[in-house]
Amino acid sequence: MAKRRTTKKTPAAAKIEGYIAGAGEVVEEKIASTLEENFMPYAMSIILSRAIPEIDGFKPSHRKLLYTMYKMGLLGSQRTKSANIVGQTMRLNPHGDAAIYDTMVRLSRGYEALLHPFVDSKGNFGKYYSRDMAWAASRYTEAKLDPICNELFGDIDKDTVDFVDNYDNTMKEPTLLPAAFPSVLVNANTGIAVGMASSICSFNLSEVCRTTIELLRNPDHDIMSTLLAPDFTGGAQIIYDKKVMQTVYETGRGSIRLRGRYVYDAGANCIDILSIPQTTTSEAIIEKVIDLVKTGKIKEISDIRDETGIDGLKITIDLKRNMNPEKLMNKLYKMTPLEDSFSCNFNVLIGGTPMVLGVRELLNEWSAFRIECVRRRTYFDLHKKQDRLHLLRGLEKILLDIDKAIHIIRHTEEEALVVPNLMDGFGIDELQAEYVAEIKLRHLNREYILKRTDDISQLEKDIAELESILASNRKIKNIIIRELSEIAEKYGQPRRSMIIDAEDIVDEEITETVPDYAVNLFFSKEGYFKKITPQSLRMSGEHKLKDGDEIREHFETTNNTDLIFFSDKAQAYKSKASDFSDTKTSVLGEYIPSRLGFDEGENALYMIPTKDYSGYVLFVFESGKAAKVPMESYATKTNRKKLANAYCDKEPLAGICYAADDDTDIVLLSSSGRALVFRAGDINAKTSRNSQGVAVMKQKKGHRVISAQVLTEGMLGDPDRYRGKNLPHMGQLPKDDDSEQMTFS
């Protein structure tokens, strides 16, 4: 009988079986332990391995890409397809080809996001200042390392930095790059981790190198004297505030104001915007300007278009006639992203620990890192020369008797004994003997050996110099100073960002210039509004209205007038006459509930135009009560468009009237056929908008007030007949002459 084979379960398999057996069960766990076991490792991985740059100025994704390109021999050689680079980089970065290519694009010269790009690109790599200008696929573009990368990899093969295994332990990668200049400040870097972020602005390379040199010479050097301000790749203008800049330099935190740069073409009457803040895009600016023009907040612009081309960014704004370009730009700076702020947060990983550092501390940390790199490089060179000297010392001893060396090798019967016999014959160690034994037969002559041993004296001098460098921090700093000077001279560029003193900028209050001219305002019973100039009204015919509609109100005023529309839901909506376009009687007009965003089912009842919010609003209710509210109760300091509780909604409303003063007469009409005339001053004003008012017109049972209007000349033959001595009053039945006038509603 065959024995049954059993296999021992691995811990992982046992754990999976446990999960399957417990599927569907609800297990209570402490949230603290869950966060500690699951979320915290993820958060630390994001902080340490993805989002926050290290002292060499690179995130892991940047470093893996550049190191792969270096190992591919793309430093100073011909370009290769970007897809090839992306594929090779996946040996170090397993996060997918799209993420790797995105990283490559942002480091490229074509994308223009860095002051000193690390990737020399060919093809369409998009632009940082354009949201819609997408880069081409990696199979179409080509790239190689930019010459400045010589300063990143110059010492990497001399044990200047540590190497670790990649994710599958098949190759080694550097933990840092031995950057010979403070790239952490030269190129902008942003990243968002879990619970923290990093945002480092870029500085001019020459200024950074000069500042670092001065700090190496004098730790108390005034940084602001050599590092003037950040320098952004897009140029733009930096609004320089010394206190703000000092805070950024000292703490690594702060906000720097940027604004776009423009030129005015008087001949074409247009403004050309040639640079924008690093934090926005040309599409965002254009969309915002278009929105401002549509809403009427900016009236000076006739057209705006994107003319970005081979010469770089260019947004052209066409102006209307006789417009001041400087005042327009001040408006655009205030109302669009043409002026924006760059929030600085100099968060850098130092020894695996996130630290927010000021410029001085950051440069000191980089100097300490670079000093260690130079020390390790010097130590590497020293050992190489010492090993070389040691071998040449052995060769020098052979020089004393070449024939003896040949004799020893020739008469040694076993190959394995050649090295021991040479060691015994000349008193040299095993390494020296191996070196001698490997010399070709053709080189066993006096001339060859003398040429080799002539290097001994130079090696001794070099070793002494290297040992003196290792023993002196001052000499190491001098080496770094010399290298920084050479880099600044070789790669330095003029500043791109202009510096403007904040005190030179006058923040003028934007006052919207509304043209003021005579207009006629019409408001219909169904809620349609028209604004017509007197000239147009004289040349027009009858009003075009919907069936059953009629003009309820007509006012002669000017364009610079506020409008208040009262609705049947006890709400008021505010607008301006200038917000509406001039029209003609031959059109229906604008439907107010739709234009002002009334609630569903809400209708407009009454319109009051006003400039100074003088006078009163009288709300007459069907019960015969009336409430008098001062117009100033509807004046608001803010630009609120909707006012709730505009009047009392406890009972049905019969009508709304505007009284310019207390002498204004109001006519009420009851369903009983009676009319009542009273002065607005006969009732007291209420400070509360939703006041229930006081009784004005008595009503017989089953009757109600059906209409309220301001008494106008000719409306009634004898208005005094309808006045009551005391309020409330029932009013009077109309005479035959007045009965036709009593049909108003």
**What does the pLDDT look like over 197-248, one tens digit per residue?**
899 999 999 999 999 999 999 999 999 999 999 999 988 899 999 999 999 9
H or E element, residue 353 = strand 353-356
Query: Average pLDDT, stretch 130-139?
Result: 91
Return d(Cα 690, Cα 246) in angstroms, integer.
55
User: What's the mean pLDDT in 536-542?
Assistant: 86
What is the C-alpha to C-alpha distance for residues 613 and 591, in angstroms, rounded to an integer? 24
- State the pLDDT confidence band at 20, using cuts at 50, 70 and 90: low
Cα distance between residue 396 and residue 401, in whole Å: 10
Hunting for tokens 């391995």 — which residue is that?
A: 49
Please write the tens of the pLDDT for every residue from 311-354.
889 999 999 888 888 889 999 999 999 999 999 999 999 988 88
Per-residue pLDDT for 271 more than 90? Answer: yes
pLDDT of 150: 94
The confidence score (pLDDT) of residue 35 equals 65
Percentage of the chain exceeding pLDDT 90 = 50
Confidence (pLDDT) at 255: 93
Least confident span in 7-11, 16-20, 356-360, 570-574 = 7-11
Average pLDDT on 729-740 reads: 75
The answer to which of 20-29, 111-120, 180-189, 477-486 has the lowest mean pLDDT is 20-29
> For tokens 């509304």, what's the residue?
514
Q: Give the separation between CA 738 and CA 744, rounded to whole angstroms.
A: 12
DSSP string, 691-741: ---EE-B---TT--EEEEEE--TTS-S-GGGGB-SSSSB--BPPPHHHHGG
| C-alpha span between 390 and 369 (Å, rounded) | 32
Q: Is omega for the bond preceding 719 within 30 degrees of 0, making it cis?
A: no
Q: Which domains does the chain have, with CATH numbers?
A: 49-179 (3.90.199.10), 261-337 (3.30.1360.40), 364-491 (1.10.268.10), 518-743 (2.120.10.90)
238 closest CA partner among 259, 253, 262: 259
Task: Name the β-bridge partners of 275.
Answer: 261
CA–CA separation, 278 vs 190, rounded Å?
Answer: 12
Q: What is the pLDDT of residue 283?
A: 92
Q: Give the Cα separation of 194 and 561 in Å (integer).
A: 53
What's the pLDDT band for 140 if we cut at 50, 70, 90? very high
User: Of 696, 566, 690, 567, whose CA–CA distance to 623 is shortest?
Assistant: 696
The DSSP bridge pattern shows strands 551-558 and 518-524 to be antiparallel
Q: Which residue has the higher pLDDT, 552 or 9?
A: 552
Average pLDDT of the segment spanning 524-544: 89
Structure tokens at 573: 């909506």
Say how far apart CA 86 and CA 127 lie, in whole Å.
20
Q: What is the mean pLDDT of residues 466-494?
A: 95
The beta strands (E) that lie in 539-624 are given as 551-558, 562-567, 572-576, 590-591, 604-610, 616-621
> Is 140 considered catalytic here?
yes
pLDDT value of residue 185: 94
Q: What percent of the chain has pLDDT over 70?
A: 91
Beta-ladder partners of 120: 144
For the residues of 98-161, what is the DSSP string, one character each? HHHHHHHHHTBTTTT-SSS-SEEEES----TT-SS-PPPPTTT-EEEE-GGGHHHHTTGGGT-S
pLDDT of residue 1: 43
Q: CA dist 224 to 90, 360, 403, Å?
A: 42, 10, 71
Q: Give the bridge partners for 505, in sequence order.
A: none
Q: How far apart are CA 68 and CA 78, in angstroms?
A: 15
Q: Which of the following is catalytic: 19, 67, 128, 140? A: 140
Strand order in the sheet with 498-501: 189-192, 197-200, 339-345, 253-259, 237-240, 498-501
Q: What is the pLDDT of residue 513?
A: 60
pLDDT band at 700 (very low <50, low <70, confident <90, very high): confident
pLDDT tens for 555-607 read 999 988 999 999 999 999 999 888 888 899 888 999 999 999 898 989 999 99
604-630 per-position pLDDT tens digit = 999 999 988 999 999 999 999 999 999
DSSP 67-110: HHHHHTT-BSS--EEHHHHHHHHTTT--S-HHHHHHHHHHTBTT
Q: How confident is the model over 86-107, as a mean pLDDT?
A: 91
pLDDT higher than threshold 90 for residue 250: yes
Higher pLDDT: 647 or 299? It is 647
Q: 518, 545, 520, 516: which is closest to 531 by C-alpha?
A: 520
Q: Note the pLDDT of residue 387.
A: 92
* Average pLDDT over every residue of 80-84: 95
| pLDDT beyond 60 at 743 | no
For residue 227, give the nearest of 491, 480, 499 by alpha carbon: 499
Mean pLDDT taken over the chain: 87
- Is it the case that residue 12 has pLDDT exceeding 60? no
Give per-residue pLDDT as tens, 505-521.
766 665 556 677 889 99
- pLDDT score of 689: 87
